[in-house]
A and B are shown apart, each in its own frame.
Chain A
Amino acid sequence: SHSLREMVSAALKQGQITPTELCQKCLSLIKKTKYLNAYITVTEEVALKQAEESEKRYKNGQSLGVLDGIPIAIKDNFSTSGIETTCASNMLKGYVPPYNATVVQKLLDQGALLMGKTNLDEFAMGSGSTDSVFGPVKNPWSYSKQYRERRRQKPHGENEDSNWVITGGSSGGSAAAVSAFTCFAALGSDTGGSTRNPAALCGLVGVKPSYGLVSRHGLIPLVNSMDAPGILTRYVDDAAVVLGMLAGHDPKDSTTVQDPVKPFTLPSLTDVSKLCIGIPKKEYLVPELSSEVRSLWSKAADLFESEGAKVVEVSLPHISYSIVCYHVLCTSEVASNMARFDGLQYGHRCDIDVSTEAMYAATRREGFNEVVRGRILSGNFFLLKENYENYFIKAQKVRRLIANDFVNVFNSGVDVLLTPTTLSAAVPYLEFIKEDNRTRSAQDDIFTQAVNMAGLPAVNIPVALSNQGLPIGLQFIGRAFCDQQLLTIAKWFEKQVEFPVTQLQELMDDCSSVLENGKLASMSLKQ
């Protein structure tokens, strides 16, 4: 497979490149792509020090494994010891956690190099990575040869700079970081699609693992019962490596699986004829779905069928209620989770000291943006004694129905579901902000949210470029805790579709002397 022809870890092992060189290349790319606003904090010193240690290990032949010396990035809603963790909010500006999230610790224990903390919608509430106190994240594809060339063909060439497209979100910073080659893998979080959505819009593999497979300890929560740490990489194999390292019981997270999880190794499927692919056509074929996505979805189904797989139409009758149901459950948990941000222990505190209540109110008004405040308000409304039965309890019941829909489909013999990830390719920022966060979130989560309700694993696989030259992805949804099977099928599909590599201006103009043509771009962690 051409996408795997170069292997970073093999190169490191053989001494073709040292961890420090690799780290410096990525740091240089971070600087060159600063305008993307992918990173909130770049941890250059930490990364170089880690690289130095990694180099020693390689020299002594004591490499820690595939991830040793590999640059990674972490969404800024994961707690990192000694490194500012802001959630892209005024509330946590300047907050330096004293501990590492379990997933961060696991990556560091594997020798990974932490390049920095990536941008997001404030407290991960959004689907565009446009609502960050540090400003919006720009999609690297906006500056790709593929996108620019096609725009030039347009008769009325608009101002290039205003045409940049969003990354999707809320893990847009992590997606942009991987997509712009500033790291090989990044952690996102996924509560309603926050990893898969930017993966789709940035042409990446985005994995949302089964709920309970990966520890949430240290992930600053959005909705505890739906949050999952997400993985963004350029290739399925890379995602599998990372997931293999992260999965398993964590004594600090009581909702993680008790059974031991073995490291993931994905076999290369050659035969898909024994597979059954479910297509929830009725519910996913919505009028808003762009014709390009629709046609790619259909082609993908045909591909499976032509390779001998059983492709069946299935129905998930309650799934259309997932967004409204999510609205109630999400805002309720948000109202609860955000209660701790009162300015006393950590984070922002206002100057008002007339009374404790006045201090709380001003601190929270200054610390949270309108989206967060809006969700807190709605959530508290739903949790009021008089409303609890009518909203929260009902939404929980609907959630159960949605989860059962999936159970029924999988019980009928379906191995994975194949659906679109987003309605369309990325839209320009100026277009996106015409609607408010709430409207956008409701629109953009429709294909991804129900998966979180049911706690299932799902993955976005980049498939092709749109007419505009922007990525389009499709989503595979697997049975609970069958993450490995899901990724195996996704890997087969990835191989078939041969998604193109981003041709970034910076790589071609400035880095060509440093890098052999396109070499770094196509590097994967492992064959």
Chain B
Amino acid sequence: MAAPVLCSGCPQRCWALVWVYGRCRHRRGAPVGSTCNWMRGQSSVAQQPLHTARKPRKGEPEWAAVVGLEIHAQISSNSKLFSGSQVCFAAPPNSLVSFFDASLPGTLPVLNRRCVEAAVMTGLALNCHINKKSLFDRKHYFYADLPAGYQITQHRLPIAVNGSLAYSSCAGTKQSQMTTRTVRVKQIQLEQDSGKSLHDDLRSQTLIDLNRAGIGLLELVLEPDVSCGEEAATAVRELQLILQALGTSHAGMAEGQLRVDANVSVHRPGEPLGIRTEVKNLNSIRFLAKAIDYEIQRQIQELENGGEILNETRSFDYKLGCTVPMRDKEGKQDYRFMPEPNLPPLLLYDTASLPAGADSQQVINIDQIRERLPELPRVTRERLVQQYGMSWDHSFTLLNEVDLLAFFQNVMKETRAEPKKVTSWVLNTFLGYLKQQNLAVRESPVTASALAELLDLLDSKAISSSAAKQVFEELWKNEGKTPAQIVSEKKLELMQDQEALEQLCHSVMQAHPHVVMDVKGNPRAINKLIGLVRKATLSRADPTVIKTILERKLSS
């Protein structure tokens, strides 16, 4: 959603909303042109995965791509990294701006404990070494939405280093095999987010919203261990799930809570790494994969045509499906890093190093945070597979949808039905309905309890599975009826009266002698008879029972 750009409505806050005239937008602005006429027909190439790229010339090794990811995750916390301002998505512009956020002279940063804990927790979840001492630095550049003229970050000594992120994907014909890869985490650093610039080309002005300025970010720098868009997408998806499981970030890419930049280069194996480009403006996982694959193909093509790769920043144009160079600052930016003098070194402790008599409000104990780590997605999936005999890809699906796992577990808690049955109902029927109507799990009209009750009815053979589908459809209408009520109102109970069923089968056979004749030549024609009997029972009979009766009668 577009943020409102008007100043009105917050007169006392107006000092923080400013107009910047002119053409300055080199840093994060939109790409210069909207066409990429310098690349004839290349966007179609990008649709193909890397391994189907054109065959190498004789004697030439294939190209290898090297992709490094830099990820900014907005820390989920009530207040900003260095000020008491509230953090809230889509609040009115400049309504969440403290004096510090607006860089009023004389204000000083005060570190938010919650953000430090989030960084430590994320570091631990990614197998990082947590630095017991880390430092803050100033990174300088002039930009209208960076009011202080510098960003406070951790340049020299970040809070966590040397970790790894394991990510898995299902492969094989039936998605039954799982492969796991690892990308190394170079470092995690705490830093401030910037404000937002809204460029109004019509009036040639820029509006600044400082609500985001100063929100805590985790910058995760990953080593270039990824070689294609798909891998990058899977790794980022796994990271997203981890952050959400930890509660350290909402990690929504569309909301800008998770921002990914990709450094892409290609080279021939055995040769030095190629010159890299940085691809920005990736606001979904799908685009991340697309942009990387496009950029790899573009670079290969460029090099094979005798061109060269420029060390530049490129933006992904999702409408055109290609990357385009961003108007870069003239020459290389020198950020003139300097230690932040207003923040003492950040010291962390573990149980062994905790000073005696330390005020627990004043110190952070790494071991305590480690104990509070929740189950990570990878472990959850393993548990699902082992505990419920679920397939790997089902376990992935359960975790991929927000709140779906909790829904599944709630159903499991309340039903006697088999886990496989529950899995199938949750992943096929329930999820199918949600997707069809584009609803989130928490918006579902069917509760876990209702589904559990329905599955119990099915399990006890009180209703047929087709009747169960009908009940589900009724439940979805959300008229406040329980499954049992629906079953009795719609008379969907299975016919338990064996004699009556025998009688029905008899009548159907007599009414359709041709079909009975067909069965003699083609045993599968019995299905037609079963269907006719079911129709006569208004689908209230168990087809297997009908089949048994019919078979007995046909053979006698």
- Contacts from A to B (Cβ < 8 Å): 78-79, 85, 87, 92, 95, 97-99, 101, 216-221, 223-225, 251-255, 258, 332-333, 335-336, 338-342, 344-346, 353-360, 380, 383-385, 388, 392
Contact = CB atoms under 8 A, between A and B. Distances in A.
The 9 closest A-B pairs by CB, nearest first: A339-B149, A356-B24, A355-B22, A383-B336, A353-B21, A224-B341, A225-B341, A220-B105, A218-B106
A392 B21 CA distance: 36
Q: Name the prevailing secondary structure of the B interface residues.
A: loop
B20 A339 contact: no
A494 B104 CA distance: 40
Nearest to A346: B15
Interface string B122-154: 000000000000000010101010011110000
Given A85-B105, A221-B105, A340-B103, 7 more contacts: A79-B104, A99-B104, A254-B342, A353-B22, A358-B22, A360-B142, A383-B337
A97 B104 contact: yes
A353 B21 CA distance: 6
B105 A340 contact: yes
A346 B334 CA distance: 26
21 contacts: A79-B105, A99-B99, A101-B106, A220-B106, A221-B105, A223-B341, A251-B110, A252-B108, A254-B342, A336-B138, A336-B150, A340-B149, A344-B144, A355-B23, A355-B24, A356-B21, A357-B22, A357-B142, A359-B20, A359-B22, A383-B338
Contact of A332 (B18, B108, B142, B338): B338
Contacts of A333: 338, 341
Nearest to A98: B99
A216 B14 CA distance: 27
A485 to B, nearest CB: 25
Contacts of B344: 254-255
B539 interface: no
Contact of B110 (A221, A225, A254): A254
B46 interface: no
Interface string B60-103: 00000000000000000000000000000000000000010011
Contacts of B341: 223-225, 255, 333
A339 B150 contact: yes
Contacts of A253: 108, 342
A345 B150 contact: no
Nearest to B97: A345
Contacts of A383: 140, 336-338
B106 A92 contact: no
A44 B16 CA distance: 30
A388 B337 contact: yes
Given A339-B149, A353-B21, A217 B104 contact: no
B334 A340 contact: no
A355 B334 contact: no
Contacts of B140: 335-336, 339, 383
A393 to B, nearest CB: 10
B20 A217 contact: no
A98 B206 CA distance: 25
Contacts of B138: 336
Nearest to B105: A220
Contacts of B99: 98-99
Given A340-B149, A355-B21, A345 B338 contact: no
A218 B99 CA distance: 11
Q: Name the prevailing secondary structure of the A interface residues.
A: loop
B342 A92 contact: no
A216 B150 contact: no
B206 A356 contact: yes
B108 A342 contact: no
Contact of B336 (A252, A258, A356, A380): A380
B109 interface: yes
Interface string B333-350: 010111001111000000
| B16, B103, B208 pick with most chain A CB within 10 angstroms | B103
Given A336-B338, A355-B23, A359-B22, A254 B108 contact: yes
Given A336-B138, A346-B15, A388-B337, A219 B147 contact: no
Interface in B455-496: none
B85 to A, nearest CB: 14
Interface in B4-47: 15-16, 18, 20-24
B353 interface: no
A243 to B, nearest CB: 20
Nearest to A333: B341
Contacts of B503: none
B106 A335 contact: no
A92 B144 contact: no
Contacts of A335: 140, 336
A221 B106 contact: yes
B438 interface: no
A384 B103 CA distance: 23
Contacts of A356: 20-24, 144, 206
A31 B337 CA distance: 47
Interface in B415-454: none
A87 B20 CA distance: 25
Contacts of B338: 332-333, 336, 383, 392
Contacts of A254: 108-111, 342-344
B107 interface: yes
A358 B104 CA distance: 22
A355 B206 CA distance: 11
A353 B203 CA distance: 12
B305 interface: no
A78 B148 contact: no
Contact of A78 (B106, B150, B206): B106
Interface in B324-375: 334, 336-338, 341-344, 362
A97 B111 CA distance: 23
Contacts of B206: 356
Contacts of B109: 254
Contact of A344 (B104, B111, B150, B208): B208
Contacts of B24: 355-357
A373 to B, nearest CB: 15
Contacts of A392: 338
Contact of A342 (B102, B106, B142): B142
A217 B21 contact: no
A354 B21 CA distance: 7
Given A79-B106, A101-B106, A388-B337, A255 B342 contact: yes
B512 to A, nearest CB: 84
A220 B105 CA distance: 5
Contacts of B150: 336, 339
B216 to A, nearest CB: 16
A78 B106 CA distance: 8
A252 B110 CA distance: 6
A246 B21 CA distance: 44
A367 to B, nearest CB: 12
Contacts of B149: 336, 338-340, 342
Contacts of A224: 341-342
Contact of B108 (A216, A338, A357): A216
A339 B20 CA distance: 16
Contact of A340 (B16, B108, B148): B148
Contacts of A218: 106-107
A92 B140 CA distance: 22
Nearest to A218: B106
Nearest to A353: B21
A359 B21 contact: yes
Contacts of A345: 15-16, 18, 102-104, 147
Contacts of B103: 340, 345
Contacts of A344: 18, 20, 144, 147, 208
B23 A219 contact: no
Nearest to B22: A355
Contacts of A221: 105-106
A217 B142 contact: no
B334 A384 contact: yes
| B16, B150, B337, B338 pick with most chain A CB within 10 angstroms | B338
